[in-house]
Homo-oligomer: A and B are copies of this chain.
Amino acid sequence: MVQIAIMGYGTIGSGVYDVVNTNQAIIQGNLGKELRVKYVLDLREFPGDPVESVLVHDVNVIINDPEVEIVVETMGGEHPAFEFVSSMLKAGKSVVTSNKNLVAAKGVELMKLAVEHNVNFMYEASVGGGIPIIRPLTRSVLPINDVDEITGILNGTTNYILTKMYHDGSEMASVLKEAQEKGYAERNPEADVEGYDACRKIAILGSIVTGQQIDYQSIPTEGITHVTKEDVLYAKKLGRVIRLLGTCRKVDGTYYAEVAPYMVGSNSPLFAVNGVFNGIMVHGNMLDTVMFYGQGAGSHPTASAVMSDVVDAAAHTGRIIYPGWSGDKIRLGEYDEWKHVFLLRFLGDADRKEAVEAVVGPIQVVEGCVPGEIGFITGSITNRDVAEAAKLEGFISRFRVKR
């Protein structure tokens, strides 16, 4: 028998408890032995809930019980998750987490601690919710390929908002309000709409791909709060949709990482990732393009990813199987130097073309989207070039266009 503990009985923790109970026979059939939740740690009481019989309030009960082999961390946040997880690893227990904040901020430290104690620190559920991504990436793609790009729609809330803005032609603020009422967005939506959530996730994916630590604080992060219904009109005119992308790319041997909204065309598999779904696109030099698609959040899907790690850990006691990355911090390319295709919006008409071309080189005109203004599609130009163009008279905004 394998005995596990769950720390945190919130959305995901209760999902894990559910999955273990609902699919007990399947899990047991796969593992070849019974798997049981011995403890659930939470400060709250849950009167009448089936969890009551295994509920504990003191983390030391779990730390000191040698029968608990694997601990699931679904508390969220950096502290006290970090301290609790450290104690579990030191006590010789493998830890499985769904906590992107913890992995992005303290992952390297915890992986090192896990190796020192010959246990695993696993985090499939920290990115992409239920989508199998960490395991396929590290076991099927990276051992064979030079991966030069990983780009994902990593946040379901913002994708829901952007999809709805596109279909309804409405402004961000009203869609956000509706999403909050429906429970698709949090009362305090900053982590989602400002791109902070996607930033942690691309930091994790980028660190795995490069094999070195990418500090999430070093990733230029732009959310969706500035996206307007006029931007949507341009996207439609261009046959594109707007998506918030977290991306890590290698260009001429240098890695760049970023979170920002893009206009995405139908040549990209990310074009069709709508609503609350997530999609993660990987490009390898041999593999070409693959995409992993699914529910990026939600109690049961995320719990499925957590449990895939638990089962993997249970089948590999005493063996380090999970990928880590080096604590050496990677030197990312300069933001100013990174090149994109941009849509530049200006007040006025096509007469502005010459003045803009003088700064950014050849451009294409996009007419008839919004009265009183004109759009230009640039070639591949640097963020520095764009900053120069923004100084021109009549400049309204710039929007990245995914190649």
Contact = CB atoms under 8 A, between A and B. Distances in A.
Interface of A: 15, 19, 22-23, 26-27, 30-31, 124, 130-132, 135-136, 139-146, 266, 269, 271-272, 277, 284-295, 298, 300-301, 303-305, 307-308, 311-312
A288 to B, nearest CB: 5
A15 B271 CA distance: 30
Nearest to A130: B287
B143 A132 contact: no
- What's the number of copies of this chain in the assembled complex? 2
B19 A286 contact: yes
A288 B300 contact: yes
A142 B135 CA distance: 14
A144 B287 contact: no
A293 B266 CA distance: 15
Contacts of A287: 130, 294-295, 300-301, 304
Contact of A143 (B284, B301, B311): B311
Contacts of A291: 291-294
Contacts of A290: 130-132, 292-295
A302 to B, nearest CB: 10
Given A136-B135, A293-B269, A312-B139, A144 B26 contact: yes
B294 A143 contact: no
B293 A27 contact: no
A181 to B, nearest CB: 23
Given A287-B300, A288-B298, A308-B139, A23 B293 contact: no
Which of A15, A146, A291, A312 is most buried by chain B, counting CB atoms within 10 A of its CB? A291
17 contacts: A19-B144, A23-B145, A26-B142, A26-B146, A27-B143, A30-B142, A30-B144, A132-B141, A135-B139, A135-B140, A139-B312, A141-B304, A141-B308, A284-B304, A287-B295, A288-B294, A290-B293
Given A135-B136, A292-B292, 20 more contacts: A15-B286, A23-B144, A26-B142, A26-B144, A27-B144, A130-B286, A130-B290, A132-B136, A136-B140, A139-B308, A140-B308, A141-B304, A145-B304, A271-B272, A286-B301, A286-B303, A287-B294, A287-B304, A288-B301, A291-B294
A350 to B, nearest CB: 31
A162 to B, nearest CB: 16
Contacts of A289: 294-295
Given A298-B288, A304-B284, A143 B293 contact: no
Contacts of A19: 144, 286
Contact of A286 (B131, B266, B271, B304): B304
A293 B282 CA distance: 10
Given A26-B143, A144-B311, A295 B285 contact: no
Given A294-B287, A300-B286, A308 B144 contact: yes
A109 B301 CA distance: 35
A104 B142 CA distance: 28
Nearest to A270: B272
Contacts of A22: 285-286
